[in-house]
Each structure stands twice: as structure tokens, then as C-alpha cells.
Amino acid sequence: MIFIAVRFDVRPEHSDTWLARVDDFTRATREEPGNLFFDWSRSVDDPNRYTLLEAFADAEAGSAHVASAHFAAGMETLAGAIAATPEIINVEVPGQGWSAMTELTPRG
């Protein structure tokens, strides 16, 4: 699986509307056959920072994502709202998604 984490520093005037701004891009990506997950979170320390965790079944699925029309449209939309070039981690890892955490389970 291709696992990607991207950190976005957003211009303050766009931080409260960020999730609405990325909604079309998010929905289209989640519909891709090779997408395993595509999840946004907002920093608890910096309201202008969002992190995207995404995964694709394999390199082919990741390449198809980057070549898609909605990716190009998303990059154009995001470019007008970011304060800095995003930081990215892009690695290939074994598996096809999330695994259960063995160190922690719910108590009765």
C-alpha cells in the first residue's frame, strides 16, 4: 500500500472553511477504485494546520490519483488557500489499510 501524510499550513482567512474547500476533491478521491482512505484532521495546537492521511492500494492506484482531473482541480483550489508549500511523507508499506492496535483494547 502507498501511505501518504501531507501537512498543510493554511492561510488564516481560509482555515475555518478548509474542509468545505476540499470537499469535492475529497469525495472524488474516496470514489477512486484504488483509494483505501483519505482523511483530514485539524491540529489541536494550530488552527491553521491540517493533515491529510491517505492510502492507495498500490503504486498504480497512486499514479492514477495524481493523473486524475480532480487531482489537478484540487491542486488549483488548494494553491489559493495555503500559506506555505505542504510537507509530505510518501512511503510504501505492507498491508491494505488499518490494522488493530495490539497494545490497547477497550475495558468493560
**pLDDT digit string, tens, across residues 15-25:** 999 999 999 99
Spatial distance between the Cα atoms of 108 and 15, rounded to a whole number of angstroms: 39
For residue 32, what pLDDT is reported?
98
SS3 30: helix
For the entire predicted model, the pTM comes to 0.93
SS3 2: strand
**pLDDT digit string, tens, across residues 48-98:** 999 999 999 999 999 999 999 999 999 999 999 999 999 999 999 999 999
SS3 96: coil
- What is the pLDDT confidence band of residue 28, given thresholds at 50, 70 and 90? very high
Spatial distance between the Cα atoms of 25 and 35, rounded to a whole number of angstroms: 13
Spatial distance between the Cα atoms of 29 and 84, rounded to a whole number of angstroms: 23
- What is the pLDDT confidence band of residue 6, given thresholds at 50, 70 and 90? very high
